[in-house]
Structure formats: C-alpha cells, structure tokens
Amino acid sequence: MSVSTNDLRNGMTLNLPEGLFAVVDFQHVKPGKGGAFVRTKLKNVRTGAVIDRTYRSDEKLEQAMVDKREMQYLYRDGDQFVFMDNASYDQINVLPASLAGAEKYLKEGDSAVLQMYGTEIVGVDLPAAVELTVAATEPGVQGDRVSGARKPATLETGVVVQVPLFVNEGERVRIDTRTGEYLTRVNG
C-alpha cells in the first residue's frame, strides 16, 4: 500500500528497498526557497540500525502492513519457543533470533505482542516491567552496607541482572524490560 510522506506517523512501518523500517521521528520542513521536504529518522526493524532520510514532500513510499498479535508463551521446544495466538489458538514455533532478546524476560504463561509481517516476526512488545524469581545469587554479607552496592543474580529465565545486596534466592524482583535493570523487590 502506498503512503505519502505527508501522511507519515511515528511507529508506521515502511517497506523500503533496504528493508523494513519503522518511523521513529519525522519533521516537515518548508524552506524559504525550493520545495518542502520531510526529514525522517527510520529504524530497521530487523537489525535495529537507525538511518536518517530526507524525502520530497508528497513523495510516495510503500507502507508495510505489520499485524500485532497477542500471543502467550507456552513452553520451550529444544532451541525454539512455542507461542499460542490468543485469538485463533494457533501455535507457532519461534527461534530466539526472532525474539531479539525478549526471551530473557518471558516465562511460561506470559503474554507478549508479536509484530508480524506476513509470517515473519519483526518485533516483540513486552510489558514495561516483569516480575521474575531469583534462581541463584550470593547471600548478602552481614555488615556489608555499602550504599548502592550490587551483586549479580540469575533469574528463573536465565538472565543475569545486578541486584542490591539484600535480595536473596527465591525472592521475586521487578525488572525493566527496556533496560534490563532491577527496579524493586516484590513482596508476596
């Protein structure tokens, strides 16, 4: 489907000769002389690389129709992750490379929104934060009260994050999925 550069919106996905790109930012510029143009910042949805492009005003670009589907992570099958579409109940096997690191924050039963372009997964939307159980960490040393001191902790999904010294094995912690940082300990 063709779209005019005048109709660009943040988050829109374009099918360019170089690949699929999401519009991160755009700015309409009308100089004193010459024709108007649109300055864009585009992010490659497969590689994450960001490029700057300038287009003439009202230039036509190919819009890629990306379908966002809410899926539930069911289980791991060898090196693949099995997801179920919450609407159709269809199951799909997904390679870790398609999840682009999101698998570090998914445990069985969790939901995620998979961005699909045809049958290809081009992105994963996770909640801003997830709660995971600490599987292994060194116990905090009594009397070690250095403010802001951190230690590594392995969570139930296998990801290692830096946590405060007072966090122990078996406790639940909230992790920011965008940065991978510890946010808080969860009680109960």
pLDDT in the model for residue 48: 81
Q: Check: CB of residue 26 under 8 Å from CB of residue 38.
A: yes
Percent of the chain whose predicted confidence (pLDDT) is above 90: 49
Mean pLDDT across the chain, nearest whole number?
89
Q: What is the largest CA-CA distance in the chain?
A: 71
* Predicted pLDDT of residue 84: 95
Pairwise CA distance, residues 35 & 28, whole Å: 11
Range of the domain at 109: 67-125
Determine the pLDDT at residue 101: 84
Tally of domains within the chain: 3
Q: What is the CA radius of gyration of the chain?
A: 21
In angstroms, the CA 115 to CA 156 distance is: 25
Pairing of strands 129-137, 120-125: unpaired
Name the pLDDT band for 21 (thresholds 50, 70, 90): very high
- pLDDT at residue 188 tops 80: no
| Residue range 91-121, pLDDT digits in tens | 999 988 888 888 999 999 999 999 898 888 8
Q: How far apart are CA 129 and CA 131, in angstroms?
A: 7
My answer on whether 50 and 6 are in the same domain is yes
What is the Cα–Cα distance from 182 to 161, expressed in whole angstroms?
7
Banded pLDDT at 31 (limits 50, 70, 90)? confident
- Which residue, of 34, 62, 90, is where some domain finishes? 62
Are 12 and 44 found together in one domain?
yes
Query: What SS3 state is found at 84?
Result: strand
Q: What is the mean pLDDT of residues 183-187?
A: 88
d(C-alpha 166, C-alpha 183), whole Å: 14
Name the domain boundary from 62, 78, 101: 62
**Banded pLDDT at 144 (limits 50, 70, 90):** low
Give CA–CA dist 26/53, Å, rounded. 9
CATH number at residue 93: 2.40.50.140
pLDDT value at residue 118: 86
pLDDT of residue 142: 60
pLDDT band of residue 11 (cuts 50, 70, 90) is: confident
